Copies of this chain bind each other. A is one copy, B any other.
């Protein structure tokens, strides 16, 4: 049997550590030269496969691949593109098979979140449904931390660390000025459906009374009166109040706070509108001076303050995906498994893709504090290990030295275009 080539692609929103997973995949594939031939990466994710735009990873130096471990974002390009079902768009799958066949691809590694797991599952079924032999392995990645069957999702730990650190720093700033200046500070963070990122800000707390004083999760219905009461109480007690709000914070009827904000000068609804909406309430009803911040992409790109635990796990799930492939596995996702001991340990496991695709894991109720404005001890016990350790990138001239790959495309073999 001749060696099959491998295809790797990045999918969906990128993270500070998705390239660490790519590094794990590629370094493992280079270890398993006996079993795996060439490694190709999709330019801009699965679109690269559909368009036959395959980056020849073999052209990249050992040093460049190694540097992926400390380089944020998607080095091969990512995309938001979900394959329809085989029944709905058979042509897309036929195209994939054409491209895979033309380049002798037998291994499919897909690095993404829930939607991508679904795509990966569909590819894994090509053998059975369309007679093309391929093994598809999913590598988890999402800052939203909402994939099931894995202890956490690579990418999340680093955002969590960024948010905890930023909350702590901004809170010190506000605390030192509150006697004569800003009393309320609001940080809006990612998380449209699950509040994991906002919850992680609680790790900034070291003792009673520490910021953040209020966390707004999508999982807890927003009650304006209770919120304003808590803000006022906090300002009275501590002199200031720090709030961390999920972009997906919502009222009991499911409507987003962000949608309650105004429209801009052009009549467009404002994106990322939770913080200004809350600020307006605080100013309008309590008359308190406020500031707010919107971290947006800064939070998920912040490799400079990545969690060492997250980087190690991202690398490991990538590496293990290749080991699973050469062991003959198909239709699985590599996972992170938490050890049973109180002292945090982890190992890599696997889960059937059929149980992963399209399942969203929200914050469980037992991780949320009784008043709904914070997290419980169980939540803290879950989150704390994920931000442990620093993994600083190298610096050159005062800024991180991130790698740019050559991204040389393999010559096309097909005449048809997608």
Q: B-contacting residues of A (Cβ < 8 Å)? A: 10, 13-14, 16, 44, 47, 71-81, 161, 164-166, 168-170, 172-177, 179-181, 185, 187, 203-204, 206, 260-266, 268, 270-272, 276-277, 279-281, 283-284, 290-298, 300-305, 307, 384, 387-390, 392, 395, 397-400, 402
Contacts and interface: CB of A to CB of B under 8 A. Distances in A.
Contacts of A175: 73
Contacts of A279: 264, 271
A178 B187 CA distance: 26
Contact of A398 (B260, B388, B398): B388
23 contacts: A10-B176, A13-B177, A44-B180, A47-B179, A73-B173, A73-B176, A74-B177, A161-B399, A165-B400, A169-B303, A169-B304, A170-B298, A172-B402, A173-B297, A260-B265, A265-B277, A266-B283, A268-B283, A272-B292, A291-B296, A304-B305, A390-B395, A392-B392
Contacts of A294: 292-294
Contacts of A390: 392, 395
B265 A265 contact: no
**Interface residues of chain A: helix, strand, loop or mixed (majority):** mixed
B268 A280 contact: yes
Count this chain's copies in the assembly.
Answer: 2
A259 to B, nearest CB: 10
A172 B79 CA distance: 14
A44 B79 CA distance: 50
B265 A264 contact: no
Contacts of A187: 298
